[in-house]
Each structure stands twice: as C-alpha cells, then as structure tokens.
Chains A and B, each alone.
Chain A
Amino acid sequence: MSGAQLARSQPRISVGRVSPVDIVLWSLRILVLFVVFAGTIGAIVKDRYTAAQWFDFVMFGLTIGAIYAQIALGYTMVYGVLRLINFAHGDIVMCGAFAGYFVASPLDRSGFLTDHPVIGMAAILAVAVATSTGIALLTERIAYRPFRRVAGSGPLIAAIGVSFFLEQTFRGMFGSSVKSYPAPAWQRSTFEVWGFNVPRIDVLVIGLAIVFMAGLYLIVQRTKMGTAMRAVAEDAEAAALMGIDVNKVVVFTFVLGGAMAGIAGVFYAFVYKQVYFFMGFTPGIKAFGAAVLGGIGSIPGAMIGGVFLGLVESVGPSLFLDGLGIPAPYQLRDLIAFTLLIMVLIFRPNGIFGERMAKQRA
C-alpha cells in the first residue's frame, strides 16, 4: 500500500519540476526523431532511388562536408587561441578561390591544366594558399591585434567589418559578376568502384582534404609550435608566463587557418565552378555551424562536424523529407542542416567533442 503510494507520488514530484521550456525541447526532440525515422522508413518503402543514386548523395555530402571541415578548422583554431569568432573567415576562403581562379583560368585556356593536371593543380593551390594566408595575416595584424586586450564585443564587430571590407574590395576590383571556374575534362571524368560511378573531382577533394587535415592534426599535436598553440588555447596568460610568445602563436594559428581556407576555396570553386565576391558567406556560416556542432575549439570536432553537416545537407532532403512526401524538399536543405545543428546542441550543449575542453576550462 505504502509502496503504491510512493510510486504514485513519484511522478507528481517530477511533473512539478518540468518547465514549459523542457516540454518544448522534448517535443522538439520527439518531432525531429519522428521526422528522421518516419522519413527514412518512408524513403526505404518508396524505393525511389537506386543504390547508385544513394551512393551519389553520400559522395556529394562527403565532398561538401570535407570542404566545410577545412573551413571550420579556421574558425575553431582562432576561437581556441583568441576566443574570437573570426567572421571574416568565409571571405578569406573567397580570397583563396579568387586567387585560384586567376591562375586556373589562363592555365585552362592555354591547355596546360589538361596536359599537366598535377603541376597545374599544385600551382593553383600554392597561389591560393599564399593569397589567403597573406590576407589572413594582414587581417590579424591590422584589424585583430589592436583589439587583443579589449573586452566586450569590439573584436567581433571588427571581424564583421573585415568581412564586409574584403567582400566589397573584391567586388570593387573584379566586379560583381559571377565568374565561371574552368572545368578541364579530367575533372569531369568518373571511374568505377564496385559498380558505382565515382567522380574523380570528388575523390580528389575528399582525399586531399583528409591528407591536409591529417597534416594539420600532426602539426598541432606533435610539433613544438603546435604544443605552444594548445598551451595558449588552454590558458594564454600562464602560457606567456612559461615563456611562450603569444603573438607568434596567434600568427601561426592564422597561417594554418588561412592555408586551410585557401585550399577549401579552391576545392569549393572546383566543385561548384563559380566565383564571386559574396561566395564566402554561405560556406562561412555553414562551417561556423559545423565548428559549433563539433565543439568549438576542438580540431577533430571541426572535422567531424563539417563532414556531418555536409552529409545531412546532401542526404537529408531525400531521406527524411522525400520519404514523408514533402514536395520540393531541396528548398528546405538549410532548415534540415540547422535543425540538426540545434538538435545536437540540445542533446550535447558543448558540441560533439566539446565536453572535455569545457570541463578543463571550468
């Protein structure tokens, strides 16, 4: 009897503690999970796409995801070291894409890019990396360093200002038109793996992204400079007291971030074949989302977050919404991506890899 009473009184206590916010959050979780599961089942039942088409969706997702991941690295490293959200990072990507375009375009016209793809690609990447690294360093020196000791939102506003400055400068110098990136034939070709057609450019982008990101991870984990970077990220003042030159570390961080942005810009332009002054904005926002998703400040988090976001964007509309019979699902692609971002943050407020760091800093 008393046991039953206790059992009855138990839920009443917990009901008292549930706030309207909790109810909303829980219904949101249930709704999203419902959409995900019902949509997936619907898509499987409908059987509209062949295995090859699902494979294509995944490939597209991995390609854009690899690019997001590389951009996200720049956000996350700068945030780790400076606690600054570098809103101009997307525009640094744009600078890299533009620099690559001005090399790729004449190389393509002269036929060099078709005859010597490896040297051609290396040249394009080198120029793009040099440009975006240079611009990233200049931004740091001119716009961010004077704000280093300023508390409040000054640095953030400066970052937004730099973003506008870069966009409008490129617009002023090269016009507002959309420029078409060259697409030599070897890029468009595909090869076959287990009966699936794989576009060469996707493999190149994903493969090189993995190589570059692995290199970056090794630099951060194994070199002296990387160790110093992690030390500054952990506690800048203590690091300075230990004799670490914080300015040097910050410059190094911007070099790494700028180089990744340059590579990402070239890849982005090679896959989507357009450059224009505002092109950095959308991937910038998405990559920032990816960095938060993975746990801002965490390098593996940025990589995983980027790939996850890319996959969800590419596969999500066909898998979740098409299965539910929603018309024109691709219009809702950003909605899916950012809803899932919110979902991850509801379940794990510090992002996928954020917990360990948050605990250490608390």
Chain B
Amino acid sequence: MKTPTRSRMPERMTGFRMPESMTRSRTLRRILLATTLATTALAVARPAPANAAQTLGPVTDEIGVIRIPKNAPIQIGGMWVLSGADTALGLDEKRGVELAFKTVGGKLLGHPLKLNAEDDQCNAEGGQTAATKLAANPQTVVVLGPACSSVATPGAPILWQAGIVDIGTACTAPALTAPNRGPQYAGFVRTVFSDSEQGKADATYAREGLKAATVVTVHDGSPYAQQLQQVMADNFTKLGGKVLSQEAVSPNDVDMHPLLTKIASEKPDLIYFPLFTAAAAQVLRQAKETPGLEKTVLLGGGSLASAAFIEAAGPSVVGFRIGYPDISADAMGKDYPNFVAEYKKTYNEGPISGYHANAYDGAMLAMKAIEKVAKTDSAGNLYIGKKALRDAIFDTKFEGISGPIACDANGQCAQFKPSVLEFTSADPKTYDLGKNPKKIWPK
C-alpha cells in the first residue's frame, strides 16, 4: 500500500486518509490486544480476592463486609447436581442442609436463613455457571456443596475471588485439599474425606480383604475418578499388587464390550472403576457378559450408593461392592440416628444417597462460624466480615453427625473411616444405606 511517492506527499493534499485511520485503528487494536491478554492472564492466574479492606457498621474486614439489613434473610448459596442421572447424590445433600437449617428453627441471630441452591449438573461448565451466579449475588455469605469434584475444581476459585468460602459436601478429589493446592483454593474447605484416604482404603481392601494380586482401573476423565483410581493404583502397587493397566471411558459411553474384552485379555483379579451412575452401570452389566471376566471381582466408588444406581444397573447389581466411608451407627456421630429419623419424617423416605450427613455438618460449620463473627448494630442490621468468616470456618471444631469436624490448614475438615459395602437386592425400593448395600468390611 505504501509506495514511496505517496509517503512523500503530505496527506492532506492527496486527500488520502486511509493510512492515518489505519494507524489509529492499529494502535487501538494493539491496546485492545494488550488489554485482552492482561485480562486473560488475570483470569487464568485468578489471584486471591482483590477487594480492598472495607468498613461497614461495626466491622472492618480485609476483603469485604456483607451487610444484612434487619429482618432480611442470611443468604447461603448451594450448588449440587440436581438433574440428570446423579440427581440423588446432590438432592440428598441439599436435604441435609435443609435439615440443618431446620434444627436451628430456620433462623440465625434473628435473621431467617435462605438457601439459594443452584444445579451444577456435576460438570465443569455447570460448576462455572453456578459459582458465577452465586458469586454475583453480593449477599451470598457462604456456599455449601458441590457434590462433584469436577464442579469444585473450577467453582471454588470463582467464589473465593469474590471472597466467598465454599464448603464442599461430597467432592473428594485429593487435589482440592492438597498442600500444594494454590492460593485460589484458599477459600475451599470440605466436610467430607479426601480420596487420598478412600483410594488407600480401597487398595488395602483389595490386597487384604480380596487377596487380589492384579487390578485394572477404569476412570472417566473426571477429577474424582481420575485421581481416586490413581491413588488406589499407587497404593495397590505399594502393597505388593500389580496394576495391569489404567483404562478410561467417556461418561456417556454405552458400549463397554470392546473395553471389557481388552481387560479380559489381561486377566485381572479385580476391576476398580469409581465412575458415575450411567457409565458404571454399563460396565457392571456388560462385564457379566464378557467371556474371561466371570471370576473377576468388580469394585466401584462412593458415587454409586443410590437407588438410582440400582435402577440403572438392574439385576447385575446384586453382589456388587463399593468402597465407602463407614456410616454404620457406631462409626458415625451420636446424633446420626436422630437425623435419619428426622429425614424420614420430613421427606417420607430414607436418605436417598450417602453424603447427607456431610452436608448437614457443612451447614452446621457455616452457621457456627457465622455466629462467631457476625456483629449486629443498634438498628438490628447484621455485619459479616468475609476474611473473618473464612478464618472462623477454619478454626471451628465440633462433634458432627458424620464424625468430628476440624479443618486443617488445607481445608480438610473431616476424618475418614473406611468400609466396603455390598448390594443385596436389585429392587431400587429396598435401597437403604447399611442394609442394601450392607457393610461387609471391615468385619
């Protein structure tokens, strides 16, 4: 475009304005590009909350203060899987939280409690949406849930950037509370065990309970399954077993025959597949039809303790085992039986999945911490400092219905007692944690 003749001529004389506007737009584009890059970099790095110190009423806080006007509700966010095949998993936890609110009469410090529950669909995209929505509400004090690690992994940093603590109620991926978890997870705690414990327990059961010498693991690419099978495989090797291969499927796969034929060619003693409902039911049903796997033991994970899984798996569920935290009465907190009675009374059915007690304790932890740090002014308005609340959650210790709750520096607040459960009937109506599936290990 730029010929020597043109550039030597004054622009105004030629009336040729193109180069000028082009330079301007180029500069503009460069600025835009720089801004975009900077924003992207910021978004990727996602530092700890950027809010400056704030003083509202009687409270000053490093990262912000929430003011709740007199008689207005204390808004607590929730995100669980509330649709799709794993609905029971999330709904059960939501009910745990509702029952926790009920035990305090639905009121805290004179303010009604309000639960804003979002459906996170148990995937990263859903988690991002749910967390963003909850973080956008300036009245969100704390968030309970999620059930799935694939939600917590992107969700917790989004919430913590807004200065909101996320209390995970069933997301068990080890990375979430690992010592190297990074500052963006500083606002994440969980009232459920870590799969670094679950994987170890499953490996121990496989070696000592089943006397298995070889294992094949299957995951579905989710943080939960991937990390859990890795921990299990590592511990299995450590205990003297041999991991023949670590396979993977997609969560929506239906045809497991080729995979299982491949696994059969390796002749493992055990297949370990901590998948979610749909894929796990397919593996289970099709494994029984695969030649060469007749004697292979199948072991699944904690996301399968639900009536929905029995329904999906059909008759092949009988005799199927899952690694699970010990929830028999003597392993749980002393108030657990009362909780179950209340659950049955409120919802006209027994607990529909396995993590209601963890969710209940998560809600209790949140309420106890709010009680500790919230201050009321003379007009009856309530003020909660965000940093203070985070510290209070990390400091609060109590005897929960799922066991003692006390957070360590990385946000791990629950202890773990291992067990293995076995399904006894293929009728979804008989689902009753402790009876179907019933505890078979440790004896």
Contacts and interface: CB of A to CB of B under 8 A. Distances in A.
B99 interface: no
Contacts of B257: 56, 60, 314
Contacts of A57: 258, 261
Contacts of B259: 330
Nearest to A281: B252
20 contacts: A53-B265, A57-B261, A176-B87, A178-B277, A178-B278, A182-B314, A273-B285, A274-B254, A274-B278, A274-B282, A313-B255, A327-B245, A328-B245, A328-B246, A328-B247, A330-B259, A331-B221, A331-B248, A331-B249, A334-B250
Given A53-B261, A60-B255, A328-B248, A188 B289 contact: yes
A331 B247 CA distance: 8
Given A53-B261, A330-B248, 4 more contacts: A180-B285, A180-B313, A199-B289, A322-B262
A326 to B, nearest CB: 11
B68 interface: no
B289 A314 contact: no
Interface in B257-299: 257-259, 261-262, 264-265, 277-278, 281-282, 285, 289, 291
Contacts of B399: none
Interface string B151-176: 00000000000000000000000000
Interface in A277-297: 278-279, 282
Interface in A13-56: 48-50, 52-53, 56
Contacts of B252: 282
A355 to B, nearest CB: 31
Interface string B233-259: 000000000000111111011110111
Interface string A247-285: 000000000000000000000100111101011001000
Contacts of A188: 289
B258 A282 contact: no
A268 B255 CA distance: 10
A339 interface: no
A322 B262 CA distance: 10
B85 A178 contact: yes
Contacts of A315: 258
Interface in B340-365: none
Question: Most B CB atoms within 10 A — which of A57, A177, A328?
Answer: A177
B382 interface: no
Interface in A224-248: none
B10 interface: no
Contact of B87 (A177, A274, A313, A331): A177
B179 interface: no
B248 A180 contact: no
Contacts of A61: 258
Contacts of B313: 180
B311 interface: yes
A155 interface: no
A48 B282 CA distance: 24
Interface in B305-339: 308, 311-315
B4 interface: no
A317 interface: yes
Question: Most B CB atoms within 10 A — which of A180, A182, A197, A272?
Answer: A180
B15 interface: no
B83 interface: yes
B84 interface: yes
Contacts, number: 106
Size bin of chain A's contact surface: 35 or more
Given A56-B261, A330-B248, A272 B314 contact: no
A177 B312 contact: yes
B393 to A, nearest CB: 33
A143 interface: no
Contact of A49 (B245, B265, B278): B265
Contacts of A348: none
A47 to B, nearest CB: 10
A42 B85 CA distance: 39
A183 interface: yes
Dominant secondary structure of chain B at its interface with chain A: helix
A329 B259 CA distance: 9
A50 B257 CA distance: 15
A100 B31 CA distance: 61
Nearest to A268: B254
Interface in A96-146: none
A284 to B, nearest CB: 12
B312 A274 contact: yes
A273 B315 CA distance: 11
Nearest to B252: A282
B84 A176 contact: yes
B265 A314 contact: no
Interface string A179-216: 11111000010000000010100000000000000000
Interface in A43-99: 48-50, 52-53, 56-57, 60-61, 64
B262 A318 contact: yes
Nearest to B314: A180
B403 to A, nearest CB: 30
Closest 7 CB pairs of A and B: A180-B314, A331-B248, A178-B312, A328-B248, A272-B254, A330-B259, A60-B257
A92 to B, nearest CB: 18
Contacts of B285: 180, 183, 273
A123 to B, nearest CB: 20
A328 B246 CA distance: 6
A197 B291 contact: yes
Question: Most A CB atoms within 10 A — which of B248, B261, B277, B313?
Answer: B261
B264 A53 contact: yes
Contacts of B250: 331, 333-334
A197 B247 CA distance: 25
Contacts of A268: 254
Contacts of A276: 85, 278
Nearest to A55: B261
A349 B254 CA distance: 30
A279 B312 CA distance: 13
A282 B221 CA distance: 18
Interface string A314-325: 110110001000
A236 to B, nearest CB: 37
A266 to B, nearest CB: 15
B292 to A, nearest CB: 8
Nearest to A202: B257
Contacts of B84: 176, 278
A58 to B, nearest CB: 10
Contact of B281 (A180, A199, A329): A180
Given A328-B246, A330-B259, A331-B221, A183 B314 contact: yes
Nearest to B266: A48
A3 B3 CA distance: 42
A170 B166 CA distance: 34
B176 to A, nearest CB: 23
Contacts of A60: 255, 257-258, 261
